[in-house]
């Protein structure tokens, strides 16, 4: 072969090689990048995409000190028993960076390996500068240097057990450690077992509305940053539009709290951005709530955290945070429903990362779905060694387990219907009164309690709930516990004669409805279909005549 032909063949071969390699690279990076969990928004509603499709987090959160190898068997037992698809679990700064600059990811690795073995996803909770307003998860080497990593000072000069958001050294250290965590996940979790990461835990301060240290005082007496003076932000905070001013001039009586919220959110925004720069997993911050109805004084709740009144401040200060999430420990329906309404915003996907356990709280699983929520996760699902008996733990989890067992085979469908706004729900209120749901051409009255023919046995506690998925004009899924659905023609159907075409009870399997039985006769007469203490799914078609 002459030299030219050999050279030409070599050139062709190398070009082919590059094409093949770049094709492989493209396919590879596509697989990785399309499968990274991601939150999307459409028409003001949100979905968490996992493997490219809407996913519903059926979660459970472990107790604070349970992410240790010896404790994990109890955690997985609970997660499996309650049919959860996701474990929310802390990872601890004090363990990960026990020595400055030396990172130990052995526990994170254990969580990844065990989650995959149990076929579950993870939401990791970065317990770092803030844990319930304090800094108890800072590594020892930081706790030993309080002048470098200070706490805040109260109004009367007293020390407060809450980290200062003005400590640059702490912020940089936290950001560095968090970025290392995110970097580790990027390499160790190509299959995206981890869906989201919570940055800190219930940040803010108890016991003082803000920091009154000399450094903080100087900042507080300075000008409000421009980013907060945008007309739309001032409007959202119910403050008059101004171009400049000190915190007190711009925010009046709310200045102390808003200053602390801005400071904490800016710090966490910095930490989150450092993590996002290396790994684009969704990030969120959870809130210790304030009473959502009475507009209480900031001295009565954890000030500076993402409570409903300062959401616009958090959004401006921490754009790397995808969502602000309410921890719901208010069983009363008026309050819990108000919280859900306040956090389901066009600019804030709804996710409930903590809620109490028990049937009264489980009502809100349905409300979250109807509000386009991406997930729900009761707190404290495992036995944490506080002396709870096995049967007690099981009883506490039973109401979650039955709902998640119902939802699991139709998880993708529920996530999609929630995203599309096809779900409506009602929860039994404390007065146990019947409620109505409007579905365009139909109105449904839902009554609560165990119903047999026309007699209803009222619940002692408000635990019933119902949801309706509208599949088409006259086709619905009725889901609930201890409830009774009565249809009435409405709007275009007003005054028309009608009947059930078919009421099928069953469940979803691999995307299609599988029949258990057709309900008819006593099971649909006497005012309509009823559901007992176990959740049921009723595929219901109506016909007008
Ligand atoms: C809310 C916190 O975020 C959790 O970590 C835990 O401390 C619970 N409170 C305890 O009820």
C-beta of 132 in contact with ligand 1 (< 6 A): yes
Reported as a pLDDT band with limits 50, 70 and 90, residue 35 is confident
Q: What pLDDT score does 396 carry?
A: 84
Q: Is pLDDT above 80 for 267?
A: yes
Distance 63 CA to ligand 1 centre (A): 8
Tell me the Cα Rg of the chain: 26
Determine phi and psi for 15, rounding to 5 degrees.
-65, -45
Atom of ligand 1 nearest to the CA of 64: 5
**Average pLDDT rounded to a whole number, residues 227-251:** 98
| Closest of 530, 434, 544 to residue 490, by C-alpha | 544
- 194 within 8 A of 123, measured Cβ to Cβ: yes
Cα–Cα distances in angstroms (integers) from residue 458 to residues 325, 390, 410, 463, 539, in the given order:
33, 30, 30, 10, 25
Average pLDDT over residues 237-266: 98
Task: List the structure tokens of 128.
Answer: 């770092």
Neighbouring-strand partners of residue 389: none
Please count the CA atoms within 13 angstroms of the CA of 59 that sit on its side-chain side. 30
Instruction: State the DSSP H helix or E strand holding residue 6, giving kind and residue range, or none if neither.
Output: helix 3-35
Ligand 1 centroid from CA 382, angstroms: 14
Distance 532 CA to ligand 1 centre (A): 33
Q: What is the mean pLDDT of residues 32-46?
A: 86
For ligand 1, the distance from its centroid to the CA atom of residue 524, given in whole angstroms, is 44
Question: Cα separation of 287 and 348, whole Å?
Answer: 13
- Please choose, from the candidates 440, 439, 442, 460, the residue with its C-alpha nearest in 3D space to the C-alpha of residue 450: 460
pLDDT surpassing 50 at residue 16: no
Q: Tell me the pLDDT tens digit for each residue of 58-83.
A: 999 999 999 999 999 999 999 999 99
Give the percent of the chain with pLDDT over 70.
94
Torsion of Cα atoms, 60 then 66 then 71 then 72, to 10°: 40
Confidence class of residue 392 from pLDDT cuts 50, 70 and 90? confident
Ligand 1 contacts CB of residue 64 (under 6 A): yes
Residue 245 pLDDT exceeds 70: yes
Three-state SS for 138? coil
Which candidate, 443, 468, 438, places its Cα nearest to that of 531? Answer: 468
Nearest CA to ligand 1 atom 5: 64
């Amino acid at each position: 072969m002459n030299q030219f032909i050999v050279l030409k063949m070599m050139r062709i071969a190398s070009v082919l090689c590059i094409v093949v390699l770049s094709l492989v690279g493209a396919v590879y990076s596509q697989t990785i990048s399309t499968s990274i969990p991601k939150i999307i928004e459409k028409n003001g509603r949100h979905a968490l995409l996992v493997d490219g499709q809407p996913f519903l987090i059926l979660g459970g959160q472990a107790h604070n000190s349970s992410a240790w190898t010896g404790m994990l068997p109890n955690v997985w037992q609970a997660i499996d028993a309650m049919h959860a698809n996701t474990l929310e679990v802390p990872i601890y700064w004090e363990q990960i960076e026990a020595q400055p600059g030396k990172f130990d990811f052995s526990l994170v690795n254990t969580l990844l390996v065990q989650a995959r073995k149990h076929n579950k996803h993870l939401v990791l909770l970065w317990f770092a500068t803030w844990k319930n307003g304090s800094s108890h998860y800072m590594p020892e080497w930081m706790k030993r240097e309080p002048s470098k990593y200070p706490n805040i000072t109260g109004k009367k000069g007293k020390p407060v057990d809450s980290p200062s958001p003005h400590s640059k050294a702490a912020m940089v250290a936290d950001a560095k450690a968090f970025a290392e965590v995110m970097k580790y996940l990027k390499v160790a979790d190509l299959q995206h077992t981890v869906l989201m990461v919570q940055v800190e835990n219930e940040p803010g301060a108890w016991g003082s509305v803000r920091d009154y240290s000399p450094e903080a005082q100087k900042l507080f007496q300075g000008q409000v940053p421009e980013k907060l003076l945008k007309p739309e932000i001032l409007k959202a905070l119910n403050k008059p539009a101004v171009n400049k001013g000190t915190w007190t001039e711009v925010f009046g009586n709310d200045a102390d709290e808003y200053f602390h919220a801005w400071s904490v959110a800016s710090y966490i925004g910095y930490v989150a951005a450092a993590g996002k720069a290396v790994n684009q997993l969704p990030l969120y911050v959870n809130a210790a709530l304030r009473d959502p109805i009475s507009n209480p004084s900031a001295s009565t709740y954890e000030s500076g955290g993402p409570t409903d009144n300062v959401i616009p401040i958090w959004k401006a200060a921490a754009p790397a945070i995808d969502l602000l999430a309410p921890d719901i420990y208010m069983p009363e329906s008026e309050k819990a429903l108000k919280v859900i309404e306040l956090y389901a915003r066009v600019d804030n996907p709804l996710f409930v990362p903590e809620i109490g356990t028990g049937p009264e709280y489980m009502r809100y699983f349905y409300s979250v779905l109807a509000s386009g929520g991406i997930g729900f996760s009761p707190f404290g699902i495992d036995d944490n060694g506080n002396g709870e008996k096995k049967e007690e733990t099981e009883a506490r989890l039973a109401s979650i387990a039955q709902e998640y067992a119902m939802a699991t085979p139709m998880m993708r469908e529920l996530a999609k219907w929630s995203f599309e706004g096809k779900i409506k729900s009602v929860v039994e209120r404390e007065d146990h009164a019947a409620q109505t749901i409007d579905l365009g051409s139909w109105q449904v009255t839902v009554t609560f309690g165990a119903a047999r023919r026309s007699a209803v046995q009222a619940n002692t506690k408000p635990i019933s709930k119902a949801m309706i998925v509208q599949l088409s004009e006259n086709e619905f899924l009725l889901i609930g516990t201890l409830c009774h659905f009565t249809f009435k023609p409405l709007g275009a159907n007003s005054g028309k004669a009608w009947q059930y075409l078919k009421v099928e009870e069953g469940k979803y399997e691999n995307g299609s409805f599988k029949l258990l039985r057709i309900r008819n006769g006593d099971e649909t007469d006497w005012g309509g279909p009823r559901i007992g203490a176990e959740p049921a799914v009723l595929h219901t078609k109506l016909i007008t005549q």
